[in-house]
């Protein structure tokens, strides 16, 4: 099969796997690997029409459970120092630039970016996430897809895609469309799980970062850079460490039962069921493991094989 990212003609079946974390479907999904650019992908035509059905209610982060206020404060601190810190380090003066965060979830990043002086907005498809985000940053959340903003002739100086591109079909056409929303040098920040990371190699089809079947494309650093350059972007910076995501992927791969988001989705699914003692114990266990995993996550990143890859690129 031809690789949809680099056109290498001989991509091979690599994994057959089920939805391990959210169990939205009991079927097996086939993932193909391109040995040239390293991408691991599903055939778009097999899943394009059904992709929306694979997202369970609650598939976006929101503090929940007995530790919710502590979790919210902790999460905000991490997003401020991790994602926002990366974005503001790219700007000569972080005042007034118009930013769009695509797949903004509950709007934490938009709120923090706005607080840091950016003219920040979010775009989100999930109605339930939009309702929560609107409460955090009223008037700054668009509900819909990027084409809605293209038709409205909206323009932004910088667009961020944190853990979004891997969920999309036709990523090349998507990136070309985003260029219609960018003005000036057109800054773009993309963060995706790195299928070439050490933990991805270690856990194989059991790696949390694959999130099958919601990830259509699981990028390696090489394949992401190739895609961005092919779409006309110039790469300026590549980073492999994420304080928020890398250690979390390691802990959730080792102990799937502790993963906070799948726990939350499960609780939503079992409406009426009370927050059990077992769940509270799991919540308490997760945080120290997450902290303990940080040195390993940092080591991976130093070796250039971190669990995420974040790229800063521009149109010029
Ligand atoms: Zn390829």
Cβ contact 189:237 at 8 Å = no
In angstroms, what is the span from residue 148 Cα to ligand 1's centroid? 30
50-314 is a CATH 3.40.50.150 domain: yes
Count the helices and strands in the chain (H runs, E runs). Answer: 12, 11
Cβ contact 310:263 at 8 Å = no
Neighbours of ion ligand 1 (CB under 5 A): 3, 5-6, 8, 34, 36-37
Spatial CB neighbours of 40, under 8 Å, sequence gap ≥ 6: 14, 15, 31, 32, 33, 195, 210, 217, 218
For residue 94, pLDDT over 90 is answered with no
pLDDT bin (cut points 50, 70, 90) of residue 261 is confident
Give the residue from 123, 106, 88, 298 showing the smallest Cα distance to 308. 298
In angstroms, what is the span from residue 33 Cα to ligand 1's centroid? 8
pTM: 0.92
In angstroms, what is the span from residue 100 Cα to ligand 1's centroid? 29
In angstroms, what is the span from residue 171 Cα to ligand 1's centroid? 13
In angstroms, what is the span from residue 118 Cα to ligand 1's centroid? 36
Q: In the predicted model, what is the mean pLDDT of the chain?
A: 91
In angstroms, what is the span from residue 270 Cα to ligand 1's centroid? 41
Cβ contact 63:108 at 8 Å = no
How far, in Å, CA of 252 to CA of 286, rounded?
Answer: 9
**pLDDT, position 96:** 85
Q: 178-236 pLDDT, tens per residue?
A: 999 999 899 999 999 999 999 999 999 999 999 999 999 999 999 999 999 999 999 99
pLDDT bin (cut points 50, 70, 90) of residue 266 is confident
In angstroms, what is the span from residue 36 Cα to ligand 1's centroid? 5
**pLDDT, position 273:** 58
Give the chain's radius of gyration (CA, Å): 19
In angstroms, what is the span from residue 30 Cα to ligand 1's centroid? 16
- Residue 13, SS3? strand
pLDDT bin (cut points 50, 70, 90) of residue 154 is very high
């Amino acid at each position: 099969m031809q690789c949809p990212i680099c056109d290498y003609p001989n991509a091979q079946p690599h994994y057959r796997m089920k939805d391990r974390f959210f169990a939205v479907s009991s079927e097996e999904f086939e993932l193909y690997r391109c040995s040239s650019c390293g991408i691991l992908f599903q055939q778009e035509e097999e899943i394009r029409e059904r992709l929306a059905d694979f997202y369970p209610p609650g598939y976006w982060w929101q503090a929940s459970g007995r530790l919710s206020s502590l979790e919210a404060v902790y999460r905000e601190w991490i997003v401020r120092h991790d994602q926002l810190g990366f974005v503001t380090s790219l700007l000569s003066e972080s005042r007034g630039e118009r930013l769009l965060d695509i797949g903004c979830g509950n709007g934490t990043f938009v709120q923090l970016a706005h607080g840091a002086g950016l003219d920040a907005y979010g775009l989100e498809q999930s109605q339930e996430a939009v309702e929560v985000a609107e409460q955090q940053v009223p008037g700054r959340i668009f509900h819909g897809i990027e084409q809605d903003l293209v038709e409205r002739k909206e323009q932004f100086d910088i667009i961020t895609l944190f853990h979004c591109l891997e969920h999309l079909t036709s990523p090349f056409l998507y990136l070309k469309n985003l260029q219609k929303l960018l003005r000036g040098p057109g800054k773009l920040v993309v963060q995706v799980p790195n299928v070439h990371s050490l933990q991805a190699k270690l856990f194989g089809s059991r790696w949390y970062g694959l999130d099958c079947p919601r990830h259509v494309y699981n990028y390696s650093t090489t394949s992401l850079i190739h895609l961005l350059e092919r779409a006309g972007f110039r790469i300026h910076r590549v980073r492999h460490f994420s304080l928020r995501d890398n250690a979390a992927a390691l802990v959730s791969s080792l102990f799937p039962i502790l993963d906070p988001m799948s726990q939350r989705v499960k609780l939503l699914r079992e409406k009426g069921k009370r927050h059990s003692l077992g769940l509270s114990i799991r919540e308490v266990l997760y945080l120290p493991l997450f902290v303990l995993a940080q040195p390993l996550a940092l080591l991976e990143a130093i070796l250039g094989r971190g669990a995420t890859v974040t790229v800063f690129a521009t149109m010029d």
